[in-house]
Amino acid sequence: MDTRFKPTKKFMLIFAAMILIGLVAVIAGFVSDPARTWPNVLLNNMYFITLSMGALMFYAIQYISGSSWSALIQRIPLAAGAFLPIGFILMLLLYFGLHDIYEWSHPEITETDKLMAHKAPFLNVPFFMIRMVLYFALWVPLFFLLRSMARKEDQIGGEQWYHKSAFYAKVFIFAAVLIFSLASVDWIMTIDAHWYSTMFGFRSMITSMYYGTAIIILLIFLLKRMDFFPQLKEAHRHDLARYLFRFSIVFGYLWFMQFLIIWYANIPESTIYYTPRLHGEWKFFFYAEPIINWAIPFVVVMADDFGRKKPVLIGISALLMIGLWMSLFLQIMPGSYGSLKLGFLEIGIWIGYIGLYLIMVFLCLSGLSIVPKNHPMLDDSIHHHL
């Protein structure tokens, strides 16, 4: 069995074409309507950073919990985080578009808006950029560290790499969970700077793990189609489905609780966030979000035999990819661009980013052996059964 993934020419051509579509969309967007393009760039940055962080959190959790079932697929979540360095550069580019996204980035607003003046020491452009750099300065080196340890485990072998990875996984989970919550508040919640929700960060973090699991499932089955992972059995699918099921419950809970508390208290300064989404043109997205992200996965994956089938898992994961886009669209657009516009620009940029993300993932995978060679729990994982 070939243990290395070599990206074929066909693959690279498809991805290059996708990136080309994205570039065309971005350039057309900047020429015609920069105010509409910048929020879309932020949306897609956040989308793929969410996926990367979620996948890496999955990777770290496997080490922390000492799971043996996942040893077979452990390289996939690691590679799924390969977008992070690129995400860092793309987030830095956002510096040029801050005025089109964030209300607080206009210095003159502090003169008329008392609340903005109060928040100005935290919400100002230099500090925002410094924080962004700090977040990535934590994540990106940790990602490279974990990757180099995985590579050394393949090449040199020995149990020490497992224990080292387990240690750095613990470091990473703190950096990821705490800092990603903060980062999502920074990048997404401050778009509606007058509004705040105390569970926003936690919700984004859980969301990240949820969709991270979904992208891992998609990548695994994509590789299985190329004849990798012959040892993948129903038991592994069962465990992956359980991850999805559990996170769908937590997602549904947090989505509803954030809404319920604001709806129940009915205080104008918090309902300001939900009023346009619930009654305006965003209504469709508002109701579709919990249905796609919670109700459908919850009901489908709940059924023990049906939810573990390969096409069902692929379908649900692909649906969740759309769900995450809708979820972020609903979080970002009403506060930044203000009106609902869905066209080639939005879809094109998304497609371009998908190409970029997959190129990064497959380049990372080609440097590793797809099935970890010297993982101490590999045998356990191959013979995993329920």
Total chain residues near other proteins (CB under 8 A): 8
Closest approach of Cβ 256 to other proteins, in Å? 8
Nearer to other proteins, 181 or 197 (CB): 197
Site for other proteins in 263-302 (CB under 8 A): 263-264, 266
Closest approach of Cβ 358 to other proteins, in Å? 36
Are the beta carbons of 135 and 179 closer than 8 angstroms? yes
Which 3-state string (H, E, C) describes the chain?
CCCECCCCHHHHHHHHHHHHHHHHHHHHHHHHCHHHHHHHHHHHHHHHHHHHHHHHHHHHHHHHCCCCCCHHHCHHHHHHCCCHHHHHHHHHHHHHHHHHHCHHHCCCHHHHCHHHHHHCCCCCHHHHHHHHHHHHHHHHHHHHHHHHHHHHHHHCCCCHHHHHHHHHHHHHHHHHHHHHHHHHHHHCHHHHCCCCCCCHHHHHHHHHHHHHHHHHHHHHHHHHHCCCCCCCCHHHHHHHHHHHHHHHHHHHHHHHHHHHHHHHHCCHHHHHHHHHHHHCCCHHHHHHHHHHHHHHHHHHHHCCCCCCCHHHHHHHHHHHHHHHHHHHHHHHHHHHCCCCCCCHHHHHHHHHHHHHHHHHHHHHHHCCECCCCCCCCHHHHHCCCC
Candidate list 256, 284, 287, 306; residue touching other proteins; CB under 8 A: 256
Which x/- pattern over 156-185 shows residues binding other proteins (rule: CB under 8 A)? Answer: ------------------------------
Nearer to other proteins, 48 or 255 (CB): 255
Residue 114 in the binding site for other proteins (CB under 8 A): no
Candidate list 6, 9, 10, 385; residue touching other proteins; CB under 8 A: 385
Closest approach of Cβ 386 to other proteins, in Å? 5
Binding region for other proteins (CB under 8 A) out of 185-193, 261-269, 358-366, 368-376: 261-269
Residue 198 in the binding site for other proteins (CB under 8 A): no
Closest approach of Cβ 204 to other proteins, in Å? 23
Closest approach of Cβ 277 to other proteins, in Å? 16
Query: CA 131, 102, 250: angle at the middle one, nearest 5?
Result: 70
Nearer to other proteins, 254 or 356 (CB): 254
Nearer to other proteins, 10 or 385 (CB): 385
Closest approach of Cβ 109 to other proteins, in Å? 31
Candidate list 115, 260, 318, 322; residue touching other proteins; CB under 8 A: 260
Binding region for other proteins (CB under 8 A) out of 33-41, 63-71, 164-172, 258-266: 258-266
Q: At what angle do helices 200-225 and 310-336 cross, to 10 degrees?
A: 140
Nearer to other proteins, 108 or 264 (CB): 264
Closest approach of Cβ 385 to other proteins, in Å? 7
Residue 386 in the binding site for other proteins (CB under 8 A): yes
Closest approach of Cβ 260 to other proteins, in Å? 6
Binding region for other proteins (CB under 8 A) out of 33-41, 177-185, 256-264, 311-319: 256-264
Binding region for other proteins (CB under 8 A) out of 5-13, 133-141, 260-268, 355-363: 260-268
Query: CA 146, 14, 39: angle at the middle one, nearest 5?
Result: 70
Closest approach of Cβ 100 to other proteins, in Å? 35
Closest approach of Cβ 258 to other proteins, in Å? 12
Binding region for other proteins (CB under 8 A) out of 35-43, 79-87, 92-100, 255-263: 255-263
Are the beta carbons of 251 and 294 closer than 8 angstroms? yes
Nearer to other proteins, 68 or 105 (CB): 68
Are the beta carbons of 204 and 181 closer than 8 angstroms? yes
- C-alpha to C-alpha distances, 197 to 34, 176, 192, 200, 262, nearest whole angstrom: 29, 20, 11, 5, 9
Residues forming contacts to other proteins in the complex (CB under 8 A) are 256, 260, 263-264, 266, 304, 385-386
